[in-house]
Amino acid sequence: MARIEYNYPLLSHNTFGIEAYADRFVAYDSVEDLRQVVRRLRADCPDVPVLHIGGGSNLLFLSDFKGVVLHSAIGGIECEEQPDGIRLRVGAAVVWDDLVAYCVEHGFYGLENLSFIPGEVGASAVQNIGAYGAEAKDVITAVEAVGLRDGEVRMFDASACGYAYRKSIFKEEWRGRYAVTHVHFRLSATFRPNLDYGGIREALSAEGIRPEEVTAQDLRRVVIAIRKAKLPDPKVQGNAGSFFMNPVVSREVYEAIKGDYPDVPHYEVDAERVKIPAGWLIERCGWKGRSLGRAAVHDRQALVLVNKGSATGRDILALCEAVRADVLSRFGISISPEVNIIGGCA
C-alpha cells in the first residue's frame, strides 16, 4: 500500500544534503500501488507537478518542491539462465551497488566496472550510468515503466530507450512521463575483464595481479578503491558524484587544444569526434579545490562539486555556472551538468 506524507523533508533523499521539502511524498512498493496513485492524482489534481526520484544521488534541489514526489520501494532480483547469457529482472528500488555485488558473487558478469556507483537500479536505466569504460546500456535489454499521465504499464526494448552517453529517452524527450519499475539485464556467465580505463591496470599491477589472472572480485575491489580515493563520501560531504558530463568535441577543437596542451587526455569516439575529460578542463581553469561561498570544487576530483556545509541548491548552481563560464572562456567548450536540477535549469 502506498504511504503518503505531507510537507515531507527531502534532506535524506538527496546526497547533496540540501534542505528542501515536498508538498506531498508518496512511497509505493508495487506496480499496482503506483498505478492507483497516478490515477488518483490525475483524477483529483491533474495539473499538480509530479517528480519521481530514486536514491537522490543525481539531484540538486533549488527550492522546495511544490507538488508530489514519488519514490519506489519495488525490490527483488529475478534470474534466468538462457543460451545467450544470464537474464535478470530487477526492481527499481534495488540499490545499484547491491546488484553489482550480487552479480559478482553469483558469477554473473558485465557490471564489475560499474561498482560503487551510488543510486538505485531504476535510475541506471534513466541516466545510462557509466564508469571505467562501461555503461548501463551495454547490458540493459528492456525497461518496464508506468506512465505518470495515465497509469498504464509499458515495456520498452533497449533499442527504444534512446541510449547515448549519460542520456536516455526517459531523461530527454520523455522526461517526467514515466516511472521505471523494473530493469532487464543480460549478463554473461563468462568473465571478460575490461581493464583499459581509469588506471585499472596500474592498480592491479600495484597489487601484483597480472591481467590474465584478474578475477571479477579483483576488478570490483580495485574499482571501488579507485572511486573511494577520488570521490568524497556524501555522508561526510554532500555531493552528487560527477557533476558534469565529459564533453565530446570535434577533432578540430581537440587538435587546437592539443597544440597548447600536448598532454591533454582524450578518448576516441569516432573519426570526427573526441571526448575530453571535463575534470581536466576544470582543473586547468584553476578551480580544483576552490570555493565559492558554501560550495566548492573537490580537491581530489575537479569533476565533483561539494556542499561544504549548509549550502543551498542555488549556492551549488552558482558555482556550477562560474565553472562553466571559465571553461567556455578558456577553451571554447560548453560543459553540461549531469545532475538533474530541480527548480531551474543550467
What percent of the chain has pLDDT above 90? 94
3-state secondary structure of 79: strand
| 242 in active site | yes
Each residue's pLDDT tens digit, 26-50: 999 999 999 999 999 999 999 999 9
Across the chain, mean pLDDT equals 95
> Annotated catalytic residue: which of 57, 72, 168, 242?
242
| 175 in active site | no
Residues 279 and 188: their CA atoms lie apart, in Å, by 33
Residues 230 and 212: their CA atoms lie apart, in Å, by 26
Each residue's pLDDT tens digit, 282-318: 999 999 999 999 999 999 999 999 999 999 999 999 9
Each residue's pLDDT tens digit, 48-67: 999 999 999 999 999 999 99
Asked if the model's pLDDT at residue 128 lies above 90, the reply is yes
Asked if the model's pLDDT at residue 249 lies above 60, the reply is yes
Each residue's pLDDT tens digit, 138-155: 999 999 999 999 999 999
Q: What's the rounded mean pLDDT across residues 223-227?
A: 95
Q: Which helix (H) or strand (E) holds 59?
A: strand 59-61
> Annotated catalytic residue: which of 24, 166, 221, 324?
166
Contact yes or no for 141/85 (Cβ under 8 A): no
Predicted pLDDT at 320: 98
Residues 261 and 112: their CA atoms lie apart, in Å, by 33
Confidence label for 281 from pLDDT (cuts 50, 70 and 90): very high
Contact yes or no for 337/320 (Cβ under 8 A): yes
More confident residue, 323 or 2: 323
Q: Which of 96, 94, 93 is nearest to 220 (CA)?
A: 96
Contact yes or no for 24/51 (Cβ under 8 A): no
Q: What's the rounded mean pLDDT across residues 248-271?
A: 94
How open is the CA angle 171-174-176, to the nearest 5 degrees?
75
How open is the CA angle 246-250-256, to the nearest 5 degrees?
95
Asked if the model's pLDDT at residue 344 lies above 80, the reply is no
Each residue's pLDDT tens digit, 77-119: 999 999 989 999 999 999 999 999 999 999 999 999 999 999 9
Amino acid at 92: A
Confidence label for 230 from pLDDT (cuts 50, 70 and 90): confident
- The CA radius of gyration of the chain, in Å to the nearest whole number, is 21
Q: Which of 207, 220, 53 is nearest to 131 (CA)?
A: 220
Predicted pLDDT at 345: 41
**DSSP string covering 168-188, please?**
-TTTTTTTTTEEEEEEEEEEB
| 212 in active site | no
Q: Which of 309, 311, 310, 283 is nearest to 297 (CA)?
A: 283
Q: What is the CA 17 to chain-centroid distance, rounded?
A: 17
Q: Is residue 67 exposed (0-12), middle (13-18) or buried (19+ Cβ within 10 Å)? A: middle
Predicted pLDDT at 346: 39
Asked if the model's pLDDT at residue 198 lies above 80, the reply is no
Q: What's the rounded mean pLDDT across residues 149-170?
A: 96
Query: According to DSSP H, which parts of the chain are helical?
Result: 31-44, 96-106, 121-127, 200-206, 216-230, 251-260, 278-284, 313-331
